[in-house]
C-alpha cells in the first residue's frame, strides 16, 4: 500500500470520527436543496399548482413568509447553540467522572452529528428561501420554497425531542459500558479472522539484525503486512516488528529489524508500509479493555464510590477476556509468494495479568468488587477448555485475589461469605484453589467445624 493511500485512509478515518462528519455535507445539501427549489420555482408552475390544489398550505403574504422564516432561523440557531453547548458540558462531566477516553465516543455519535447537520442544513435552507422572496408590487411568494422550509423547520423541532431522548440514554454508564464492550468484540472478531497469519512456537534470533528507526515520534498503528511480506521477498530478507500495536515509538527508536542491511531506497519503501502515526491508535481490542478498566477504577474512586458500575464493567471485561483467550497469538505472517514477517505480540497472560493487577490493587478493600473479580477468574477458568496453561494463569490470579482479600478484608462476615463462595466455585470446577478457607479467621473456621 502506497504511503499516500495510507495517509488518505488515515484522513478518512479521522474525518468519520470527527463531529463535522455529517454536519458539513448536510450544510452543502441544504445549499443544493435551496438552489434546486429556487430553480423549480423559476422554471415550473410548482407554486401555482400548490396555490390551486393546496390553498390551506400556502402563505400569500410576503411579510408573513419573511416573519415565519425569520422566526425559524432565529429559533433554530438559538436552540442549536444552547442544546449543543449543554450537551458538550454534559459529555465533559461524564468523561471526567469515568474516563476522558469516552469523549471521542460521544462526539462521534451519529445521532449527535445528524441532528447538528439537520439543524445547520435547515437554517441554510431557510436563509436561501428568505433571500429569494423579493419585494415587488405583485407580492409573489415562492410557495414551494416557503412550504419546504417550514416543513424542515417543523421536522427540526421533532428531531430535537428524538435527540434529547437518545443522548440521555447513551450517556448512561450502563449503555456506555455496553457500547465499549461491543466495540471490543468487533475488534476481537477481526483479530480472529486474519488471513496468512499463524502462531509459531519459536522466533528467530534478531540480536544481530539491522534496525530501521522511526522517522517521527508516533504510535504504531496500521501496518501493511502483505506489502512487508512482498518487500521481504524482494529484498531477500526477513523482517521482525519489535514494537506492539499501539506502542509509542520515539523518533530514531528501532521500529523494525531486518535480517539484511537495507539501503536508503529500500528503507523508504519499508517505511511506507509501517510508518508510525501521530495520534494514538485505538482501533483494536486492547484500548477497549483499558477503557473498561478506567471506568471500573473511576467508579471505585472515593468521589464516585459506585461498586455496582465497577462490577458491571468487570463483567464486560470478563466477556472480552473469555473471547481473547481462545484467539491464537499470531506472531508470524507470510503472504503468498512473499517473505517472512515476524511480530511481537501481547500474549493473553500479559493482558490477563495487567487487567487483574490494575483492578485488584485499586479495589481490594471492597468485598463486592473482590467477589466479582474472583467470579470472573472462575468463569474464565471454566471456559479454558481444560488447557493447563490457561488454568495455571487463572489459578495464579485467583490466589493473588485471595491473598489480597486475606490482608484487606477485615470483616469476618465478608471473609466467611467469600470463602464459602470460593468453595462452591471449587466444587463446580472440580479443582479450584488449594485452600479456599484461608480467608476465614480461626473463630469462623471453628464455628463451621473446619480444621486449620
Task: Please tell me whether residue 258 adopts helix, strand or coil conformation.
Answer: strand
Global pTM value? 0.81
Q: Are strands 254-258 and 210-213 parallel, antiparallel or unpaired?
A: antiparallel
Inter-CA distances, 295 with 96, 99, 212, 316, 397, Å: 10, 6, 38, 11, 21
CA pair distance 452, 432, nearest whole angstrom: 19
Interval 302-348: pLDDT, tens: 888 888 999 999 999 999 999 999 888 888 888 888 888 998 888 88
Q: Hey, what's the cell of 181?
A: 464492550
Least confident of 27-41, 240-254, 270-284, 303-317: 270-284
Range of lowest pLDDT (39-48, 93-102, 298-307, 345-354): 39-48
Q: Rounded to whole angstroms, how far apart are CA atoms 217 and 278?
A: 7
Tens-place pLDDT, residues 162-211: 888 888 888 888 999 999 999 999 989 888 877 778 888 777 888 889 99
Low-confidence winner among 42-51, 74-83, 124-133 (lowest mean pLDDT)? 42-51
Q: What is the distance between the alpha carbons of residues 113 and 440, in angstroms, rounded to a whole number?
A: 55
Given a contact cutoff of 8 angstroms between Cβ atoms, the answer to whether 228 and 341 are in contact is: yes
- Which has the closest alpha carbon to 274: 233, 227, 234? 227
List phi, psi (to 5°) of 241: -90, 105
**C-alpha angle 342-216-347 in degrees, rounded to nearest 5:** 35
| SS3 label, residue 451 | coil
State pLDDT tens for residues 126-172: 999 888 887 766 667 788 888 889 999 999 989 988 888 888 888 88
Assess contact for 177 and 316: CB atoms under 8 A: yes
- Spatial contact of 416 and 444, defined as CB atoms under 8 Å apart: yes
Helices (H) and strands (E) in the chain, counts: 17, 8
Whole-angstrom Cα distance, residue 29 to residue 218?
Answer: 37
Whether the predicted pLDDT of 447 surpasses 70: no
CA 211 – CA 320 distance, rounded (Å): 35
Q: CA-CA distances (angstroms) from residue 428 to 236, 403, 432?
A: 55, 22, 9
What is the tens place of the pLDDT at every residue in 8-20? Answer: 666 666 666 677 7
**In the chain, domain spans:** 16-171, 285-328+346-447
pLDDT value at residue 199: 84
Q: Are 38 and 145 in contact (CB under 8 A)?
A: yes
Amino acid at each position: 500500500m502506497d504511503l499516500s493511500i495510507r495517509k488518505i485512509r488515515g484522513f478518512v478515518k479521522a474525518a468519520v470520527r470527527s463531529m463535522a462528519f455529517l454536519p458539513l455535507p448536510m450544510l452543502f445539501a441544504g445549499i443544493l436543496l435551496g438552489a434546486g427549489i429556487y430553480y423549480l420555482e423559476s422554471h415550473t408552475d410548482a407554486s401555482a399548482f400548490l396555490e390551486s390544489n393546496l390553498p390551506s398550505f400556502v402563505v400569500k403574504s410576503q411579510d408573513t413568509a419573511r416573519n415565519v422564516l425569520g422566526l425559524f432561523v432565529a429559533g433554530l440557531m438559538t436552540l442549536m447553540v444552547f442544546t449543543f453547548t449543554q450537551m458538550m458540558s454534559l459529555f465533559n462531566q461524564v468523561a471526567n467522572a469515568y474516563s476522558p477516553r469516552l469523549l471521542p465516543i460521544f462526539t462521534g455519535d451519529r445521532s449527535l452529528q445528524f441532528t447538528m447537520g439537520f439543524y445547520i442544513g435547515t437554517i441554510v435552507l431557510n436563509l436561501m428561501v428568505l433571500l429569494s422572496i423579493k419585494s415587488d408590487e405583485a407580492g409573489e411568494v415562492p410557495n414551494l420554497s416557503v412550504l419546504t422550509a417550514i416543513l424542515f423547520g417543523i421536522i427540526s423541532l421533532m428531531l430535537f425531542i428524538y435527540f434529547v431522548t437518545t443522548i440521555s440514554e447513551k450517556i448512561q454508564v450502563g449503555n456506555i459500558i455496553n457500547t465499549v464492550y461491543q466495540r471490543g468484540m468487533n475488534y476481537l472478531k477481526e483479530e480472529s479472522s486474519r488471513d496468512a497469519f499463524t502462531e509459531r512456537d519459536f522466533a528467530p534470533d534478531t540480536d544481530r539484525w539491522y534496525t530501521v528507526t522511526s522517522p517521527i515520534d508516533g504510535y504504531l498503528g496500521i501496518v501493511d503486512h502483505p506489502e512487508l511480506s512482498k518487500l521481504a521477498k524482494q529484498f531477500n530478507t526477513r523482517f521482525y516488528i519489535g514494537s506492539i500495536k499501539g506502542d509509542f515509538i520515539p523518533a530514531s527508536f528501532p521500529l523494525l529489524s531486518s535480517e539484511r542491511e537495507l539501503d536508503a531506497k529500500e528503507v523508504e519503501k519499508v517505511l511506507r508500509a509501517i510508518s508510525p502515526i501521530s495520534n494514538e491508535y485505538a482501533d483494536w481490542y486492547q484500548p477497549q479493555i483499558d477503557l473498561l478498566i478506567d471506568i471500573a477504577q473511576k467508579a471505585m474512586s472515593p468521589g464516585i464510590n459506585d461498586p455496582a458500575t465497577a462490577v458491571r464493567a468487570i463483567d464486560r471485561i470478563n466477556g472480552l477476556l473469555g473471547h481473547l483467550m481462545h484467539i491464537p497469538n499470531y506472531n508470524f505472517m507470510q503472504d503468498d509468494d512473499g517473505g517472512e514477517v515476524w511480530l511481537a505480540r501481547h500474549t493473553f497472560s500479559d493482558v490477563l495479568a495487567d487487567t487483574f493487577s490494575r483492578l485488584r490493587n485499586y479495589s481490594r478493600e471492597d468485598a463486592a468488587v473482590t467477589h466479582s473479580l474472583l467470579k470472573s477468574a472462575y468463569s474464565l477458568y471454566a471456559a479454558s477448555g481444560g488447557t493447563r496453561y490457561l488454568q495455571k494463569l487463572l489459578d495464579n490470579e485467583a490466589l493473588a485475589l485471595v491473598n489480597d482479600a486475606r490482608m484487606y478484608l477485615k470483616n469476618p462476615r465478608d471473609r466467611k461469605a467469600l470463602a464459602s463462595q470460593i468453595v462452591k466455585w471449587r466444587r463446580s470446577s472440580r479443582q479450584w484453589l488449594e485452600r479456599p478457607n484461608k480467608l476465614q479467621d480461626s473463630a469462623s473456621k471453628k464455628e463451621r467445624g473446619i480444621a486449620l
